[in-house]
Structures are given as structure tokens and as C-alpha cells.
Amino acid sequence: MRVIEVIIDGFKSYAVRTVISGWDESFNSITGLNGSGKSNILDAICFVLGITNMATVRAQNLQVPAGRLLLWSPR
């Protein structure tokens, strides 16, 4: 299963219609300021899929394999 597009309208902090597209087949991340609705995007996807236990979709191990660097730059 793959997410192609998410349309949120009137769900939690998304009062107006919001379309999120351009999802990668392999890896996606949701970033933004505190309170910007990042968790609500995941909540909307889980709601549609019928997932009620959010712990089942959270990452359990965020370690980077030995010899690899994990870098992030906003620009």
C-alpha cells in the first residue's frame, strides 16, 4: 500500500481543505514548527485506515547504522 495524496478537510487543526501530495515511495518525513499540525496528518491517515492504537505506527528504534551519518539542514 502506498499513499499518493492526502486531502484533509475539517479534521482537527485542518479546518479548511488541505491537499498534501508528492509522497515518496520509500521514505517520507513530516516536519514543521510546534503546533503546526504534524501529528494531525498522521492521525488523519490512521483514521482512514482504521488504526486506533498510535503506538503501533511510531518508530521504535531511531538508531543510525554504524559508519553512517544522519545529517539535517533546513536549507
Question: pLDDT at position 26, please?
Answer: 86
Which domain, by its residues, includes 37? 5-56
Report how far residue 29's alpha carbon sits from residue 20's, in angstroms, rounded to the nearest whole number.
12
52 CB contacts (<8 Å, ≥6 apart)? 46
* 46's grid cell: 490512521
Is 17 a domain residue?
Answer: yes
Higher pLDDT, 1 or 68: 1
Indicate the number of domains in the chain.
1
Is 64 a domain residue?
Answer: no
Question: pLDDT at position 52, please?
Answer: 85
Is 65 a domain residue?
Answer: no
**Confidence class for position 11, pLDDT limits 50, 70, 90:** very high
Residue among 1, 46, 41, 48 at smallest CA distance from 25: 1
Is 67 a domain residue?
Answer: no
Summarize pLDDT for 20-61 with one digit per residue, the tens.
Answer: 999 998 888 899 999 999 999 989 998 998 888 877 766 666
**Confidence class for position 13, pLDDT limits 50, 70, 90:** very high
